[in-house]
Structure 1
Amino acid sequence: MNSIAHIRESDHRVQTVEEHLLGVKELAESFGTKIGVKHIAGLAGMLHDMGKYSDEFREYILEAVKNPEAPPRRGSVDHSTAGGRLLYDFFHTEKIDRYKGLLAEVVGNAIISHHSYLQDFLSPELESNYLQRVRDKCLPEFAWTKQNFFEHIMSEIDFQLYVDKAAAELKAYLENGSTASPETKFMFLTKFIFSTLIDADRTNTRLFEENNVDEAPQDWTNLFASYYDKLLTKINSFQDQIHSHSPINLLRCQMSEQCDHFAEKPPGIYTLSIPTGGGKTLASLRYALKHATIYRKKHIIYVVPYTTIIEQNAAEVRKILMDDANILEHHSNVVEDTGDDDEEFDGLINVKEKLKLAKDNWDSPIIFTTMVQFLNVFYAKGSRNIRRLHNLTESVLIFDEVQKVPVSCVSLFNEALNFLRDFGRSDIVLCTATQPALDFVEHKLKINADAEMISNLDHVIKAFKRVEVIDQATGTGMNNDELCDFINAKIQEVRSVLVILNTKSVVKKLYQQLKAAVTEIPVFHLSTSMCPAHRIDLLQEIREHLKNNDKIICVSTQLIEAGVDVSFECVVRSLAGLDSIAQAAGRCNRHGEQELQQVYVIDHIEENLRHLREIKIGKEISKRILIDLRHDRNSHGGHILSAQAMDKYFKEFYFKFKEELDYPIPQLGPKMTQLLTANVVDNSYFQAYCHKNKDRLPLFLANSYRTAAEHFHVIENLTTTVIVPYKEEGKDIIAELNGDSKIEDLTRVLRRAQQYTINLFKYELDQLDRNGGVESCLDGKVLVLNEGAYSDEFGLDLDNDSGFDLSIY
């Protein structure tokens, strides 16, 4: 009788276990080749569903198809442990070869975890989830399963030869010239292999379900070359514009050309410190396209702090490259990845399986995503995030406004980038006018020597000076009433005023006061309570007013200050970190329309920063620098936005948070970096295990991957993504998700839905649920707002203060 891996929903055709395992092996091998671990990844692919060679699984899946209304008990058949058991029995008992023993742990963990998340080799409870599965769990049909594998997939002799090649790859990987610790190397290798397995497994299953032939791997080199030509045509067209020979435009042109020449350098970690308004987006794209063409990179990935920048930059790039299909925006996971075990669904195509199989692996040539999503790929629980990891290798990654890396994630961020440089053959650009001191911290970022793309930076910064920062923060603070009067007076002197405050509640309150007080002038409100499509529409309306020289006031959270291409005559910024002040200044007189315009820094006394410690500390450091400048005009380079002031700010900021840079986990004790990469000497759990059991843990690795992932959140408070009924498009998306969709349709709809999502805290969801404001579709896996819960003025309009600005999502 034929084996069964999956049964197709449409025609009940069977995919055999050998078809599936060999197909996944081939895909995984192609992914593993990116970092030189073809056979390690292939080993995971060929073994992952080996447990489906059992009468128990065959009976289970046939009964489920026969009786869909009353299927067998879910999760009653374990088919993911057998492959890990095979590796353990062969290479982790009796006489153990070090490299093959390590290989068994790395690959075995990926195999047994491919329906949930990587297991702990040693947990805080001093138990080994990994050993409980591969060594201790009862597998009644294992001998029969093993016999079938060697008969139908690969002979035992060929299997041993294949493992020899994988072990040689592991040895070469460990002997890479990187200075990373062995434990760090193993952590990233395990995550990479897990990523290749997840993506290969889901891709092969999706292709079978869609009755498609295998997708050939894409080579985007010619596409990148054609994009580069289109971009140069656009850049050259600027020469025909009226102000093309102004000093600032000539300087922009020079910096763009410097990026072009720099693209010929080999991959590394570089910095691009173009001042705000200096044409950073096009210059970095020019670099990325040329570098990707020369070095045959597979993807260009923009990682930004705020979804607002995704919306703007992606739209700008689409317009220039004249291509919608190949540019992916990824704001957030529309379908939440709980990380729960989904083994019970495997083999049967239902709603949850369709959502799991939908293409969500960042395989597009150009991708825009957020810092949260980037960090989630490496460190968050669940398989949806980590599936994308292998597509970050052999790529060009541009980190726009890199100074916005959350404090607790600095070490984790640095280690991820070091891995991508040293092993992933990726090229990394740190792009900001305010470079943070990421090589100042303990887990240093390995920035290349002579890393800066722009020469003579001091001259460039002086040439781009378009504003004067006026300190009104070291005196008396302002409340909203006083600020309203101040803005009302300023709008009589200038045509446009932008106000940026630190919390959504004061933004909303000030907006309402201004709207009542200044009835003859348009007043706009921006916050992350609005979905991306909503903010795009509002920003377009704001730009039209600015272009027409209309009187206009805009009140916003910090989402507007990093990378959003708007230019106001006057900006008011509530005191925060020096980088935030610099970014806010970049929204004033952005293109040098006037000689010098004013940026007023105020201290808003109504802002509640008790939950915003990074802003609070940044504000205190900035205030001390402002006080120094009041006492001595020549201190810190002579002005608040100087390179010297910025360097002092970041070093003091990171020193202040020194104990928090490694992602502390107070409830556990060890920090995240220790859970993931500590050696046995420094691993408190390993030492406690040895003391308790009077013996060593019988494994080479003792790190706690699952525990670390369960405690990882880029910000402390978890949020949930909800689709909103903004305009007809948002309503149409919700209607489609309520229908009966195929996998390819779900892929398309979920990508469209990115523009129509907001992120809500639990208390906000609870309030909406009590009021009937939120519903679910797709068996509860996707949440949507009812029309009455979303307003064209405020987006989600809850009369409360979250205490957090979710613009980093």
Structure 2
Amino acid sequence: MDHELWAHSANPAGVRHGLVDHLRGTAARAVKFASVFGAGELAGGLGILHDIGKSVCVWQEGLKWAESRGSRVVDAGGASIDHKLAGTWLAVRKANLGPFALSILGHHGGLSSRRALKDAMSSAEAEAADRVQEAVRRVSGLIPEILDDRRSAVPAWGCSSDDPYAAELLLRMTFSALVDADFLDTESHFTGERSAVPSLASMVETFEGARDSYLGDTRSPIDLIRSEVYDQAVQAAGGPVGIFPFPAPTGAGKTIAAGGFAAHHAARHGLRRVIVAVPFLSITEQNAQVYRTLFGADNVLEHHSGVNLDELPAALRWQRLAAENWDAPVVVTTTVRLFESLFSRKPSAMRKLHRLAGAVIVLDEVQSLPDGMLPPILSALRTLTEHFGTSVLLASATQPEFFSLGVFAGLQARSVIVEPKPLYKGLRRVKYEWRIDPRPTFAQVAEEAAQKPQVLAIVNTTKDAATLHEYLEKMIGEDVLHLSTRMAGGHRRSVLREIRSRLNEGLPVTVVSTQLVEAGVDLDFPVVFRAFAPAEALQQAAGRSNRNGLLAFGRVIVFDPADGSVTGARRVYGAALDTTRVFFGPGLADPDDLDALSAYYQARYALKDIEKVGPGAEIQRYRAEFDFPEVAERFKLVDEQTVPVLVPYGDDAERERLRGLLMSPGGADPWVFRKLQPYLATLPRRRAAQAVKEGLATELLGGLIEWHGEYHRRRGVEFTDPSGEDFVW
């Protein structure tokens, strides 16, 4: 009888996929994936149940009909045939798995809610009862264990009402194991098994050998301090699995030290992979290049919107498949992709999550995590370390006081740097100057900056950047450089290359930028002007001055522009600006004072009351209720009030070719969108809508617009009336 039940249509060899084979194959893979976090039996049980609804006659007939026409499975009336209810019903009524049945109910469409599960059960026991029982009868004769009680398969910590967040994350991770197993078993039927990916084995030897070569023979006082930081990171790697704050000032070699920690820690504890998440695309690409050098290019998967995985050389094609589920030794991605996948509800985004178990997660520039999202993020990180065998490295020059929050109550902070204060003192390479009272105008700031041969000025909004840039152009000519998201991605990268070239050759260079340049971007100016901003932004900006310690001290001039734009900065920074004024400034502390920084973070969190008020607290309430759609709807790491804009920059012929492919009937392949990245700038949604209305832009598709107005050779997108345009970056 098992040969008469099918799960999928014929593959290129003309062979159909047997349902029993698929159920057992999916279960076996799910067991393997979830065993890493002690839920192998649970995931395997869900795997054996997930597709039993395909056994009913109407579905089997629909498969044959679909196979003959190359279409999806439908009934005689053309309607879709649900095949999830039978497995869902068994998971609740026979297996006694309660809310974990949501994994079966959502293995195609996504995780839903307890209410949706209740409605599904009502349907399974009413209008769909005959079909459900038909499936149970047909499959139980072939796989008797589908009727087993599996309540003991749920780890005790995953069914306790004392920690609903741990149970919620267990459901997410088990769902991930199930859907990845389902994808892979189906794929193996149609295309064969995937080739084995590289292993994390011997990674320490690879890393250490490459590090010696990478650093070379040059040594400076800062290199000696960086070596000490690396040694402490390797020593800390011997500690037990957990959460490791890594406070180290900018220029301390955090990228290499974090990689060394991860390699040694994984080897010490038998962990399976290293996942590095970085907040900004520019430094994601920068760090990925470093890690390819240190871990080996054939071991590193770089996974973000700026990578065209379709153009990899043949030897690295495994990375295109690995991007689907992060089956790679080292993954370099963005913070947005990591956490929005973690709190998603869709199978395509979540199938990679089980790879977080038994991994080292390196979170770079953690000060960039928005306060409002900290409750769910920190809660999930804690659960990963306590129940999923994961270690987390929290790297930042401006280490937030996460351990002062209730969500981390009782956790032991295992700092990578035993005594941070001497390190910060030894690496202090700048002196702060304050232009706060009286407040200077942008014209005055420009006049002072124009006297410096090499200077970087960082402001809070694109409107302010354009204003200061125009003043400097009038004073020293059109050679002033500019960086903001008004410019196309390729334009920004070109400017960064020009800046580095001028700095390396000792040539004059004047740059005006929004804060996109201040976290992790490897630039070294003798003088940096920074518009007043939260303390962590001020210190990050200071990291662009005297970065390599070639001067006795660099200069960081903090100014509060009298004619600066307030709306955009306050919209993003909020209470952090006011709290910064309490602790930092003339007569107060400098931003690299660790005691003041600690007090600042604690006061900021208390002022916002982020664990009781705001989106993060609301998300936690929905997590406790197992309401996955509401969580996914509310969890946002980035402001969605911006839209991508195709601008007239770069290779005109190539841009037009890609535009044509994008607008072709039937839609474009994903690689087209990736190829368009160098030609895309960003605008606020309201400004983009206004531009379309005024005829300065036209709508293309999917929120993308095409700019027809002025594109300045330095500043990018320009408005004739900039009065309403005020946004960060």
- TM-score with structure 2 setting the length: 0.86
Match of 1:168 among 144, 152, 170: 152
Please list, as runs of the form range in 1=range in 2, the aligned pairs for 1:198-347 lying within 5 A after superposition.
Answer: 198-209=179-190, 211-216=191-196, 219-223=199-203, 225-235=205-215, 237=216, 240-241=217-218, 244=219, 246-323=220-297, 326-331=300-305
Q: Which amino acid aligns with 2:214?
A: K
**Selected match of 2:444 from 482, 496, 501:** 482
User: Which residue is equivalent to 2:432?
Assistant: 469
Partner residue, 2:464: 506
Q: Which whole-Å CA distance do the structure 2 matches of 1:205 and 1:760 have between them?
A: 41
C-alpha displacement of 1:216: 4.7
How far apart are 1:387 and its partner, in Å?
Answer: 2.2
Q: Does 1:196 align with 2:177?
A: yes
Q: For 2:237, give the aligned amino acid.
A: A
Alignment partner of 1:444 out of 405, 408, 411: 408
CA distance in structure 2 between the aligned counterparts of 1:585 and 1:508, rounded to whole angstroms: 22
2:463, 2:254 → 1: CA distance? Answer: 32
Which of 33, 39, 55 matches 1:31?
Answer: 33
- What is the CA deviation profile of residues 522-547 of structure 1, one whole-angstrom value per residue up to 9, with x for unaligned ones? 32222234455543332222111101
2:502 matches 1:550: no
Residue matched to 2:137: 147
By how many angstroms is 1:89 displaced? 2.7
Q: 1:47: Cα distance to partner?
A: 1.8
Contact 2:230–2:260 (CA under 8 A) maintained in structure 1: yes
Deviating more after overlay: 754-763 vs 464-473: 754-763
Partner of 1:664: 614
- 1:372-391 paired onto structure 2 within 5 Å: 372-391=336-355
- Counterpart among 603, 622, 625 of residue 652 in structure 1: 603
1:580-615 deviation digits (Å, cap 9, x = unpaired): 101101101111111112111111332133574451
Q: Which residue of 1 aligns with 2:532?
A: 575
Q: Contact 1:418–1:445 (CA<8 Å) still a contact in 2? A: no
Q: Which runs of 5+ in 2 are unaligned?
A: 310-319
User: 1:554: how far off?
Assistant: 1.3
1:676 correspondence with 2:614: no
The one-character-per-residue Cα deviations of 1:46-83 (angstroms, maximum 9, x if unpaired) are 22222221232233344445456999577621112221
Q: Is the 8 A contact 1:25 1:43 kept in 2?
A: yes
Partner Cα distance (2:349, 2:137) in 1: 35
Q: Structure 1 residues 193 and 394 mapped into 2: Cα distance closer, same or farther (>3 Å)?
A: same
The partner residue of 1:104 within 91, 98, 103 is 98
Q: CA deviation at 1:456?
A: 3.1
Do the aligned residues in 2 keep the contact of 1:500 with 1:556 (CA within 8 Å)?
yes
Mapping of 1:105-144 within 5 angstroms?
A: 105-106=99-100, 108-122=101-115, 128-129=118-119, 131-132=121-122, 135=125, 138-144=128-134
* Superimposed CA distance per residue, residues 419-477 of structure 1 (whole angstroms, 9 cap, x where no aligned partner): 1101121111111121111111222266534x12223322221111111111112x133
1:381 touches 1:710 (CA, 8 Å); kept in 2?
Answer: no
1:598 alignment partner AA: R
Asked whether the equivalents of residues 32 and 38 of structure 1 are also in contact (C-alpha less than 8 Å), the reply is: yes
Q: How far 1:37 moved relative to its partner?
A: 0.6
Which amino acid letter does the alignment assign opposite residue 415 of structure 2? E
Counterpart amino acid of 2:595?
Q
Cα–Cα, structure 1 residues 329 and 213, in superposed 2: closer, same or farther, change >3 Å? closer
Of 556-565 and 46-55, deviating more is: 46-55
Task: Assess if the C-alpha contact under 8 Å between 1:334 and 1:721 holds in 2.
Answer: no
Query: Cα distance 1:30–1:374, how it changes in 2: closer, same or farther (>3 A)?
Result: same
Partners of 1:581 and 1:572 lie apart in 2 by 10
1:427 aligns to what? 391
The whole-number CA distance in structure 1 between the counterparts of 2:308 and 2:727 is 21
More divergent stretch after superposition (786-795 vs 577-586): 786-795
Q: 1:50 aligns with which of 34, 48, 52?
A: 52
Counterpart Cα distance in 1 of 2:558 and 2:132: 69
- 1:366–1:534 CA distance, 2 compared to 1 (3 A): farther
SS where residue 308 of structure 1 aligns? helix
In structure 2, distance between residues paired with 1:70 and 1:214? 25
Mapped to 2, the partners of 1:518 and 1:757 lie a distance apart of 29
Instruction: Name the CA distance, whole Å, in 1 between partners of 2:369 and 2:497.
Output: 28
Q: Distance in 1 between matches of 2:571 and 2:708?
A: 35
Deviation at 1:642, TM superposition (A): 0.6
Output the amino acid matched with 2:443.
D
Aligned partners of 2:388 and 2:323: how far apart in 1?
22
Partner of 2:422: 459
Matched residues in 2 for 1:588 and 1:407: separation? 27
1:271 match: secondary structure: strand
Determine the structure 2 residue equivalent to 1:339: none
Q: Tell me if the contact between 2:572 and 2:728 (Cα under 8 Å) persists in the aligned partners.
A: no
Which segment is superposed worse, 600-609 or 556-565?
Answer: 600-609
Change (3 A) 1:71 1:429: closer
CA pair 59-731 structure 1, distance change in 2 beyond 3 A: farther
- Alpha-carbon separation, structure 2, partners of 1:198 and 1:789: 48
Match of 1:345 in 2: none
Q: How far apart, in 2, do the equivalents of 1:486 and 1:600 lie? A: 10
In structure 2, how many angstroms separate the alpha carbons of the residues matched to 1:725 and 1:131?
55
Q: Which amino acid in 2 is paired with 1:544? A: S
Tell me, what secondary structure is at the counterpart of 1:51?
Answer: helix
Distance in 2 between residues matched to 1:386 and 1:788, nearest whole Å: 40
> How far is 1:147 from its partner?
2.1
Gaps of 5+ in 1: 92-100, 336-355, 678-701
Gap change, CA 1:466 and 1:44, over 3 Å in 2: same
**Residue 768 and residue 424 in structure 1: after superposition, are their counterparts in 2 closer, same or farther (change >3 A)?**
farther
Q: Contact between 2:30 and 2:47, CA under 8 Å: does it hold in 1? A: yes
Task: State yes or no: 1:615 paired with 2:615.
Answer: no
CA shift digits 1:702-750 (9 cap, x unpaired): 5422222223222453556788897568778777878999xxx978778
Scaled by the length of structure 1, what TM-score is found? 0.78
Alpha-carbon distance in structure 2 between the residues aligned to 1:517 and 1:600 = 20
Letter in 1 for 2:324: D
In the alignment, which of 297, 318, 325 is matched to residue 361 of structure 1? 325
Secondary structure of the residue that 2:524 maps to in structure 1? coil
- List aligned pairs for 1:734-749, cutoff 5 A: none
Structure 1 pair 24/726, CA: closer, same or farther in 2 (3 Å)?
Answer: farther
1:628-777 to 2 correspondences below 5 Å: 629-630=586-587, 636=589, 639-658=590-609, 660-661=610-611, 664=614, 671-677=618-624, 702-715=625-638, 717=640, 762-763=685-686, 766=689, 773=698, 775-776=700-701
How far is the alpha carbon of 1:379 from its aligned partner?
A: 1.8
Cross-structure match for 2:359 = 395
1:14 and 2:7 aligned:
no
How much does 1:187 deviate?
0.6
Contact 1:380/1:713 (8 A) holds in 2: no
CA distance in 2, matches of 1:662, 1:387: 31
Please give the secondary structure, in 1, of the residue aligned with 2:574: helix
Q: Distance in 2 between matches of 1:137 and 1:761?
A: 49
Report the Cα offset of residue 374 of structure 1: 2.3
Partner of 2:374: 410
Q: Contact 1:119–1:129 at 8 Å: present in 2 too? A: no
Q: 1:751 to 1:586 in 2, by over 3 A?
A: same
C-alpha distance in 1, partners of 2:285/2:438?
Answer: 38
Aligned 8 A contact 1:121 1:130 in 2: no
